Amino acid sequence: MLVSYKWLQSYIDLDGITPSDLAEKLTKAGIEVDGIEMPGEGLKNLIVGHVLKSEKHPNADKLNRCLVDLGEEEPVQIICGAPNVAAGQKVIVAKPGARLPGNIKIKRSKIRGEVSNGMICSLQEIGFTTKVVPKDYADGIYVLPEESEVGTEIVPLFNMDDAILDLDLTANRADCMSMIGVAYEVGAILNRQVKLPEIKGRTSAERASDYIHLKVETPQDNPLYTAKIIKNVKIGPSPLWLQTRLMASGIRPHNNVVDVTNYILLEYGQPLHAFDYDRFGSKEVVVRRAKRDEKLTTLDDVERTLTEDHLVITNGIKPVALAGVMGGADSEVQTDTKTVLLESAYFNGTVVRKASRDHGLRSESSSRFEKGIDPNRVREAAERAAELIAELAGGEVLEGMVEADSLTIEPVKIDFELGKLNKRIGTNLFVDDVEKIIKRLQFSYQVNGESFTVTVPSRRWDIRLPEDMYEEIARLYGYDHIPKTLPMDVSFGGLTPYQKKRRIVRTCLEGLGLMQSITYSLTSEEKYSQFAMEKADPIELANPMSEAHSVLRLSLVPHLLDAVSYNLARKNKTVFLYEIGSVFYSKGKNCQPEEREHLAGAMTGLYVDHPWQGKKEPVDFYTVKGILDVLFEKLSVSRFITYEKGQLDGLHPGQTANILLDGKVIGFVGKINPDMEKWYDVKDVFVFELHLGELLMKETDELLYTSIPKFPSISRDIALIVDREISAGDLQRTIQDAGKDLLKEVKVFDVYEGENVPAGKKSIAFTLTYYDPERTLTDEEVVVEHEKILTAVKDAHGAELRK
Amino acid sequence: MKERLEQLRKEALEHIEGAKDLKEIQQIRITYLGKKGPITDILRGMKNLAPEERPKIGALANEVRETITEKIEKKWKELEQAAIQRKLAEESIDVTLPGRKMTVGNRHPLTRVIEEVEDLFIGLGYTVAEGPEVETDYYNFEALNIPKDHPARDMQDSFYITNDLLMRTQTSPVQARTMEKAKGKGPIKIICPGKTFRRDNDDATHSHQFMQIEGLVVDENIRMSDLYGTLEYFAKKIFGNDRQIRLRPSFFPFTEPSLEMDISCKICGGKGCHVCKGSGWIEILGAGMVHPNVLRMNGFDPEKYSGFAFGVGVERIAMLKYGIDDIRHFYTNDVRFLHQFFQKD
Ligand SMILES: [Zn+2]
């Protein structure tokens, strides 16, 4: 809502309050002022000129050479490029020395050899936006009314010596979508009285009811419809004071009738519509729901196809307006209109909203109905508008108002106690303090001891509960006067064990070199199932903004690969990322999906990079696996974790492992395959993903100290020759199982294929460490254990000791 | 005899002085002081001397031996030091060459902000509650006093999956779920961080996915002044003690009274600049007293209980705190961006 400071003064005394004071006070009271515009600021030397002569520029087709009277001794020559300039016009002239918006300075100059003593201006050139410039002058200079006096200053003439406050209204404060509403609010803030417009009520002898009949078929959609008739109007431009008020409020002037309806909409917040009575097509207004596929061409010349959801005004035969949203083109007020049928009605906000949404039509009118108008102003606004039309367009208002009224307005009464108010706000107000505030709001009330009963005026439909009154009182008392306290309970905060462990996961991975990233939960149809550990149906958005974010993801890896790709394209060659986020498994069409918290990572580049010492180690499968091993140790789940050779679409078939927790697959680690490398435009990327939820929910032992070894341990190295396919993990497990009691540790220290090892075989060397916490082991005991192990690996894997 | 001893002393001292390394010194020691050395010889030959000569010569011999021993010790130490110095000189390196830095990652700036806020409120006795990103219409809207066709739904253009399921537009559904679970018994003191979604085109100031932190306190006798005190504590802890705060009345369907909080602009100190659009204030959060309908709908008696709630945008805090100018940075994960949040505040 744009509010003209000058115009607002018609309703309330703003003495001693500057526009910026007003903005600050409004903002602190809850009506946020987004900005103040001073349209006339910096403008000077702009006056009314009279074009005496206009002819083609001798050296330029598109220019005109004009002789303009500026009220000085001699008329001056001005070159003008506007196509609509003509002799006899009163125009806006920027004299040499003038300043225009954007700090443009006008100088006496020569244009194609001809002297130009200034510039004839369009409204845009003096600062109005094209949106509000009357259509006739949108592409040329503005032509002032004939009676304008030559030499008059433009800034005051156009009411540009004003301040326009841009109010950013919250949804509940629709009452401030009118000048009178704003005046009440300012009155409450400043403790000053509101002056309402005077309505004289002069009418002709003829009765409106002889001209028009009303029928509302769906009173729940339209509880009140009123019609007035104004006869013998003469359509023309509105006076400048009216046009400039509209333009200041962001509305384009049209003609004296339409402008009045818009003016009253701004003044009272009551949307009105003027029909050309003779073009209406009947003497009966019928308000009803549209029929399916009924057509209506609206004022903007668009043919609209309607449904039963839309409320229409009809002439008994066909729709002539989309109720509360926009009028029809056929019954529009035109230059030859003689009689006006003026509609002032109260339409249900929901039905207006539906129509405005379905047709993509947001109008000043629809937005007011949607947010709620004051039902008690419907008639008053109609009377005032009719009178103003008669005044400006020279017609006469017929007697009476034709109505279809099924509206009941119950006065809203709110009871509340002073004690409760103070208890909720934390203040220590007295009856007297509260009374003063209610008076400022101009609400009527009764007070009995410390009990209040307030009657809320219908313009404030947002106030229904005691809490709403608490807010009114608190905001006018001033939020910044409320004391600052803290809740007085005693409670103990903290993270859950799960949340704590999640932070440990972050810290651990970061310590190992990975950076946390956050990517989108929504992905594309193509990517949603990539790297998914389990297949599932897509969960699709019904109304996505783009295909790239239209389906919920099943894996975190695709967006991590996008991030890797983004980085590689920017020459960030080493990228180690991890993410903790949700993936979404469908549980059926109308059920909330299962959200699993996953942990994933993507790594590429050099894990060790000390160039001047010649040490460079690219990330490989074992780097990533090692990182996970550290993480599992940190979470004390290592002994429940195993790896097995795995397979997953998108991963290298030879470099992928499943990660198992208690024998159940909870994740994978591997290198992405060439197809995916191509798809994402990356190279040598290793990824992992884990069902973090399951990992962190695993019950683990408490941390307890185990004593430091008191006796020496004995280590033995063995190298085993096995078939190439035998995995180190299997061998290790066999060794561990066989050497259970005394074998403390098994470590791979060498893997070898080639010379001295038969074809199809490989050599794997282990260091076995034996230890007994109770005593020093003897060589003989170790030999016995060692033999057991060698027998076991031979039996299980055909392993031979390498000589 | 005497001359011989003096001669020996002189000779030995010259040798010692000229010794070049520890090995040479060792040789000198053996030569002069060893069992077969000249001094031992002399002492052994004392029996051939006249008895009155013996003490004199004996004393002199001992003195010569001591002098030599002393000198050897001294020289030994000198040479040892020199050897160490030489070795150290050989081992000297260019200490200005770069160190072998370990690769260490770090938190995402949004997580950094969230954990900071979590810890702040944990200190005030809050716990951290979480909820699903895909919500039902009921928890996202209806339980928060936003029935179907409520004009407030205009404020949030949402991603729907079905008529009843949507990407949550706020973290407030976690409040509703927590209240429902508490079955009408307070106190509740929670802070709820999480991802939220709105139908926006991604640009410098909009993101279809963003993060919010909500706080909720429900108990007997919770006052608006408690909210004010809590918010001031939060703002000063996060943005610094020198920042002023301002509350403005506002509107949210789930709170009444409602407010928005501004903090004084850091750039201009409140005088007005382009960052604060000339107002001197920057909006940072919305809050209010829990609407009685919300309490009632989620099983609390609004006569007995009251509460407050607040919600802040995590990106907004991070952008203000670290001076980030484009919200998309948070989701592109450029490592040159992420790594900047390695260092402490
Ligand atoms: Zn500023």
The CATH classification of domain A208-405, taken from the options 3.40.640.10, 3.50.50.60, 3.50.40.10, 3.40.50.170? 3.50.40.10
Average model confidence (pLDDT) across chain A: 93
Which one is predicted more confidently, B278 or A127? A127
Model pLDDT, residue B36: 82
Would you tell me the crossing angle of helices B54-90 and B22-33 to the nearest 10 degrees? Answer: 170
Task: Identify the band that residue B61 occupies on the pLDDT scale cut at 50, 70 and 90.
Answer: confident
Helix (H) or strand (E) holding A321: strand A319-322
CB contact under 8 A, B159 and A511: no
Distance between CA atoms of residues B217 and B200, nearest Å = 31
Give which of A168, A172, A627 to mutate to test B binding, by max B Cβ within 10 Å. A172
| Of the listed ranges A100-104, A179-183, A731-735, B37-41, the one predicted with least confidence | B37-41
Task: Identify the band that residue B7 occupies on the pLDDT scale cut at 50, 70 and 90.
Answer: confident
Average model confidence (pLDDT) across chain B: 91
Pairing outcome for strands A412-417 and A272-276: unpaired
Beta-carbon pairs below 8 A across chains A and B: 252
Residues in binding site of A for Mg(2+) = 462, 468, 471-472
CB contact under 8 A, B224 and A575: no
The token pair at A115 is 């002297």
CB contact under 8 A, A521 and B336: no
Interface check B340 vs A, CB under 8 A: no
Distance between CA atoms of residues A90 and A99, nearest Å = 20
Q: Does the pLDDT at position B19 exceed 80?
A: yes
Interface check A140 vs B, CB under 8 A: no
3-state secondary structure of A557: helix
Task: Identify the band that residue B152 occupies on the pLDDT scale cut at 50, 70 and 90.
Answer: low
Alpha carbon of B264 to ligand 1 centroid (Å): 8
ipTM score of complex: 0.87
What long-range pairs does A361-365 form, CB within 8 A, spacing at least 24?
A: A361/A298, A361/A322, A361/A325, A361/A326, A363/A325, A363/A326, A364/A251, A364/A262, A364/A265, A364/A271, A365/A265, A365/A271, A365/A273, A365/A324, A365/A325, A365/A326
Task: Identify the band that residue B156 occupies on the pLDDT scale cut at 50, 70 and 90.
Answer: low
Task: Identify the band that residue A156 occupies on the pLDDT scale cut at 50, 70 and 90.
Answer: very high
The CA-atom distances, in angstroms, between A505 and each of A315, A511, A688, B102 are 72, 10, 14, 19
Task: Compute how many other C-beta atoms are within 10 angstroms of the C-beta atom of residue B9.
Answer: 19
Pairing outcome for strands B127-128 and B188-197: parallel
CB contact under 8 A, A549 and B115: no
What would the mean pLDDT of B128-154 be, rounded to a whole number? 88
Model pLDDT, residue A371: 87
Nearest chain A alpha carbon to B232: A484
Q: Does the pLDDT at position B172 exceed 70?
A: yes
Q: Does the pLDDT at position B155 exceed 70?
A: no
The class that CATH gives domain A415-481 is alpha beta
What would the mean pLDDT of A358-365 be, rounded to a whole number? 91
What would the mean pLDDT of A463-482 be, rounded to a whole number? 96
Contacts of B248 in chain A (CB under 8 A): 27-28, 30, 32, 479
Burial of A707 (0-12, 13-18, 19+ CB in 10 A): exposed
Q: How far does CA B172 lie from the centroid of its chain? A: 31
Contacts of B133 in chain A (CB under 8 A): 521, 582, 584, 595
Only one residue has tokens 């744009």, namely: A2
What would the mean pLDDT of A626-634 be, rounded to a whole number? 97
Q: Does the pLDDT at position A611 exceed 90?
A: no
Nearest chain A alpha carbon to B332: A563
Helix (H) or strand (E) holding A657: strand A651-661
Tens-place pLDDT, residues A549-569: 999 999 999 999 999 999 999
Of B232, B306, B333, the CB nearest to A563: B333
The CATH classification of domain A10-29+170-190, taken from the options 1.25.40.340, 3.30.56.10, 3.20.20.80, 3.30.70.100? 3.30.56.10
3-state secondary structure of A215: strand
Minimum distance, in Å, between the CA of residue A288 and any CA atom of chain B: 21
CATH 3.30.56.10 segments of chain A: 10-29+170-190, 415-481
Model pLDDT, residue B279: 84
Question: What residues of chain B, 285 to 304, have a C-beta less than 8 Å from chain A?
Answer: 289, 291-292
Model pLDDT, residue A305: 95
Strand partners, A416: A452
3-state secondary structure of A266: helix
Q: What is the CA radius of gyration of chain B?
A: 43
Contacts of B295 in chain A (CB under 8 A): none
Interface check A577 vs B, CB under 8 A: yes
Q: Does the pLDDT at position A803 exceed 80?
A: no
Distance between CA atoms of residues A518 and A562, nearest Å = 12
Q: Does the pLDDT at position B277 exceed 90?
A: no
Tens-place pLDDT, residues B33-52: 888 888 888 878 878 888 88
Q: Does the pLDDT at position A119 exceed 80?
A: yes
Interface check A590 vs B, CB under 8 A: yes
CB contact under 8 A, A487 and B226: yes
Distance between CA atoms of residues B101 and B98, nearest Å = 8
8-state DSSP, A27: H
Q: Does the pLDDT at position A326 exceed 70?
A: yes
8-state DSSP, A399: B
Q: Angle CA(A191)–CA(A193)–CA(A199) in degrees, nearest 5? A: 160
Model pLDDT, residue A491: 83
Alpha carbon of B282 to ligand 1 centroid (Å): 8
3-state secondary structure of B226: helix
Task: Identify the band that residue A218 occupies on the pLDDT scale cut at 50, 70 and 90.
Answer: very high
Model pLDDT, residue A424: 96
Fold of A44-157: OB fold (Dihydrolipoamide Acetyltransferase, E2P) (2.40.50)
The class that CATH gives domain A497-696 is alpha beta
Task: Identify the band that residue B154 occupies on the pLDDT scale cut at 50, 70 and 90.
Answer: low
The class that CATH gives domain A714-801 is alpha beta
Q: What is the CA radius of gyration of chain A?
A: 41
Nearest chain B alpha carbon to A560: B333
Task: Identify the band that residue B270 occupies on the pLDDT scale cut at 50, 70 and 90.
Answer: confident
What share of chain B has pLDDT > 70, as a percent?
Answer: 98
Tens-place pLDDT, residues A191-211: 999 999 998 877 788 999 999
Question: What amino acid occupies position A342?
Answer: L
Interface check A515 vs B, CB under 8 A: yes
Question: What residues of chain B, 101 to 140, have a C-beta less than 8 Å from chain A?
Answer: 102-108, 110-111, 115, 118, 121-128, 132-136
Model pLDDT, residue A249: 95
The token pair at B102 is 């370990």
Burial of A791 (0-12, 13-18, 19+ CB in 10 A): exposed
Contacts of B160 in chain A (CB under 8 A): 541-543
Question: What residues of chain A, 381 to 440, have a C-beta less than 8 Å from chain B?
Answer: 423-427
